[in-house]
Amino acid sequence: MASLTCTKSVLYSSENKNKNWMSTFRFSRWLKFLALILCCVSPLMAIAAEDKAICFDKEGYKFKNDDKKTCSWVAKKWKQRCSFKDKKGKVSKKCINTCRKCKGKRCKDSKKEFKVKDKKKNCSFVKKSLKEGKDVCGRKAGDGIVANYCPKSCARCPTSAPTASPTTPAPTTSAPTPSQPENCAVADRFVSSGSGYCNEVYILNEPWLQIKIYFDATRAGDTFLRAKVTLSRDVWIGLGVTVMGGMIGAKAIVTFDNQIKEYDLERYDPSWVIEQASQDLRNTEFVQKDDFTSMAFEKNLVDDDFHPILAEGHTKFVYAYGYSNLKVKHGSYGSFLLDFSLKDDDAFKTLY
């Protein structure tokens, strides 16, 4: 009897050990399975969390629920359309990348892929394309454009901390240029006899980018213009005179490859931006360092190879800047009127 009881006890004990071992084994398998899931999901969760901090336009946004009025539509005339409102609120809060409302850490390239013409692309592709002179930033991608996913590569972000009231960047080489010399009001000409300029106007004044032109005022009978253009990025900058109102057909002064020269803009393709055989610029000075570019020059108001610049009255200008100093298609552009006979902001009128 005692032997039978002992045998049962041993069998019962052995059975419990097997059950415990099996439970431990199953629990261990579950732990491994959970660890495998976490290993796979964690990177995706990290990318998703990171993308929340990146400056994307709101996916699927449609102004007034119009299928055609997405953030791509806003981008075509963003300066005007970003101020629009509907029942959902301000357009600028929905299309934050398009409206240049990216700030701080939100302005960086995404690690996620996006589709361009049904093909998966990423920001490495964008960087490579830009180096090859191919401007892909404006191409449609998802519910926006490539620049929404790669704002840093597409030069849609500030390269340094923006200020609410941008000040004139100080040149970093031997080109100090006081914005208001003491002798500016001599004979009501607003012309400096020194190295400075008596007039200054913002061509573009946004938290993410500032472009400014300095000049000495002109009067009827004057023969040349003395001016300087600055940009808060270390890329090429161009300023052109247009008759038809657009880039094509304009005559421009551009800093390709760190040299200030005059060009004929025959087509949008960089290969059709032709350097003029005869250069009419004098006392040119190029400065570039620490997110700052400056080109200074003197030029005849009337030049057989250039559209005339009026001594009095508005001349129509176009401007553009690039992604680097290489001769590739511009990153952004605009148009404005400027009357060099007037003082500061009275002289300027933006067009687009």
pLDDT in tens, 47-97: 444 445 567 788 889 999 999 898 878 877 777 788 898 988 999 888 887
Rg (CA), the chain: 31
Q: Which runs of consecutive H residues, i.e. helices, occur in the chain?
A: 2-52, 71-76, 78-81, 91-94, 123-131, 146-149
Q: C-alpha angle with apex 128: 126 to 133, nearest 5 degrees?
A: 95
Is 165:171 a contact under the CB 8 Å cutoff?
no
Q: Residue 147: its pLDDT value, please?
A: 79
Task: Using the CB atoms, write b or e for 269-297: b if 16+ within 10 Å.
Answer: eeeebeebeeebbeebebbbeeebbbbbb
Task: Name the nearest CA neighbour of 95 among 85, 104, 87, 105.
Answer: 85
Q: Residue 106: its pLDDT value, please?
A: 65
150 CB contacts (<8 Å, ≥6 apart)?
109, 110, 123, 126, 127, 137
Cα distance between residue 48 and residue 151, in whole Å: 17
CATH number given to 199-351: 2.60.40.1210
Q: Residue 195: its pLDDT value, please?
A: 61
pTM of the model: 0.54
Q: Residue 23: its pLDDT value, please?
A: 54
Q: Residue 233: its pLDDT value, please?
A: 87
Domain with CATH 2.60.40.1210 in the chain: 199-351
Q: Residue 177: its pLDDT value, please?
A: 39
Q: Which residues of the chain have pLDDT under 70?
A: 1-54, 103-106, 132-133, 135, 143, 156-195, 207-208, 352
219 - beta bridge partners? none
Cα distance between residue 231 and residue 129, in whole Å: 24
